[in-house]
Every structure is written in structure tokens, then in C-alpha cells.
Amino acid sequence: WDFLILFFCLPVVIFNEITKKRLLGDVSCRIVPFMEVSSLGVSTFSLCALGIDRFHAATSPQASARPIEQCQSIIAKLAVIWVGSMTLSVPEILLWQLAQDTSPVSGVVMEYCTMKPSSNLPESVYSLVLTYQNARMWWYFGCYFCLPILFTVSCQLVTRRISGTEKTECRGTKHTQCESHLNCTIIGLTIIYGLCTTPENVCNIVVAYMSPDMSKQTLDLLNLINQFFLFFKCSVTPVLLLCLCRPLGQAFMDCCCCCCEGCSPDTASSEGSADSKLKTEMSSSIFFDKPRESPPPLLALGTPC
């Protein structure tokens, strides 16, 4: 979803700032906020799901021998996160619309998006959208800021407490080190998310109580700052995830290597690829909490892909 934000929303915002024209018109005014709010929902519920997974790993009676999770279960969880986030963001489509205004300085007609429900909506839908608009600031703050941070912090505290009291004898083992590494990864993702969403929530609160005293230029600047932090989060999060999760980063680099023409299966590269594959296979077991009884044979890992 971060790549979708950078691929679609970022060019629209840049085009609008340069030309003062809205790319795709009214469609972009509705789709861009929908995708941005959906991005917050995907990040929020993903962090909550990761926190629950780490809690189950810490409280499992045989944490080092947990079975590999089925692909259908993982797809079901992802579907719930994505569909739920998109469903909660549907009011954004009905809330925004395109407006035009003449610049007092240059006299050029500018297009901008305004938060104003269309009067053509049915009365019941219009009432619901107005209710969402009035509660939007606190909904943002409670669901997309407080929920993931408090949830992650609570899960980490409980996990550390259980790990410190029930698994003292297992400290220093490879499995415990892998669990600690995964917990640090989740904490890093939460810190990035919190730092990037704090300015938007602060701006929303300030605008809600001081908007009559603020000019349109100031409001546009605050909105641009909020979008900048969102794009920054979408850019940093995948890089941070690939750097902290070494098996995932290694698998990503292997896939990129297989797509390159220079990745020819010579002898040296085959041996290096075999060694890296073996390390990846052994270290990737930490993401499934299941140790391998014996390393895979090297002969099966002789190809670069």
C-alpha cells in the first residue's frame, strides 16, 4: 500500500502544487484522501496484528516449536486488514469534492479540494457524512494514532514481562535472540509511524479550533506538510523493514538478482549463492518460530534463483 501511495498520490500532489490544476479533476480529490486514510488503516491494523503475533509467540507453551502458519491463514489476515481499512475509508470518497478559486495575486484560476459533502447525496447518507466530518479529527487521533501506539507498547510490555519471568532459563539461546530482534523490528516500525503521524494530528487539532483565524494559504501549507510526512513514512517503512528483517531483505535481494541479466550462474556465484541461501533458510525459520532439524542440502541451492 505504501508503493500505491507513492505511485499514485505523490504525482497528483506534485502536479497540483506546480500547475495549480488538479490532475484527474474531481476523481483525484476523492481517491487521494481515500488511499491516504486507507494507508493509515493498513499500518494501524498491521502493527496490531504483529503485536498479537509476538504476544502469542511469547505465551506459547512451546514457542520454539510452533508450526508454520498456513498460507490461507495469512491471506485471510491480510484480507481482513486491507478490506477493513478500505471500508473505514469509504466516507472520504463522499466527503471531498473539487472547487475553484481565483488567486488574488496572479488572477489565475486555481483548483483545490475542499471538505464539503455533495448536496446531491441522499439525506441519510448526507447526514452520516456530516457526522463523520464532525468526528473526523478525534477518529483520526483515536484510531490511527493512539490505537497502534498503545497496542504495540502494551503488547511489548506484556511480552517482556512474560519472557522475563517464565523463560529465564532460555535466555541467550538463538531463539530468544531472534524473538528480541523481531520485537525491535516492530518497535522501529511503530516509532516511524508515530513520528510521521504526529504532525498531522497536531495540525488537525489546531485547524479544528483555530480555522476561522487562519488564512487559506496557511491551511494549504499545513495540508502540504501533512502529506509530506505521509509520503516520507511510505518511503521509509519498506526500507526499514527490509533492513531490520534480514531474511526478508535477503529474499528481496535474491529476487532482484534473479531479475538482473548480470546474474549468471558461474562457479563462484553459485557457491556464494549457496552459502547465502543456506544462511537465509536457517535464519528465516525465526519468522515461523520453528527450528529446522538439519540444514537443507547444498546441492539443491546451487542455482542463483
> What pLDDT does residue 165 have?
59
Read off the pLDDT of residues 171-180 as tens digits, 9 standing for 90 and up.
446 666 677 7
C-alpha cell at 5: 501511495
74-111 burial: b if 16+ Cβ within 10 Å, else e: eeebeeebbeebbebbebbebbbebeeeeeeeeeeebb
Read off the pLDDT of residues 128-161 as tens digits, 9 standing for 90 and up.
888 888 888 888 898 999 999 988 888 888 877 7
C-alpha cell at 225: 506538510
The residue to which cell 493509515 is assigned? 40
Ranking 87-96, 191-200, 239-248 by mean pLDDT, the lowest is 239-248
The C-alpha angle 200, 203, 208, rounded to 5 degrees, equals: 125
Read off the pLDDT of residues 255-303 as tens digits, 9 standing for 90 and up.
877 766 555 444 444 445 555 554 444 444 444 444 444 555 544 444 4
Ranking 25-34, 172-181, 212-221 by mean pLDDT, the lowest is 172-181
Topology of the domain covering 1-60+70-165: Rhopdopsin 7-helix transmembrane proteins (1.20.1070)
C-alpha cell at 51: 503485536
Question: Could you give the CA distance from residue 304 to residue 267 in angstroms, rounded to a whole number?
Answer: 11
For the segment 181-198, the average pLDDT, to the nearest whole number, is: 85
pTM: 0.73
C-alpha cell at 211: 480555522
The residue to which cell 457524512 is assigned? 129
Read off the pLDDT of residues 254-266 as tens digits, 9 standing for 90 and up.
887 776 655 544 4
For the segment 89-103, the average pLDDT, to the nearest whole number, is: 83
> What pLDDT does residue 79 have?
92
Provide the 8-state DSSP code for 245. -
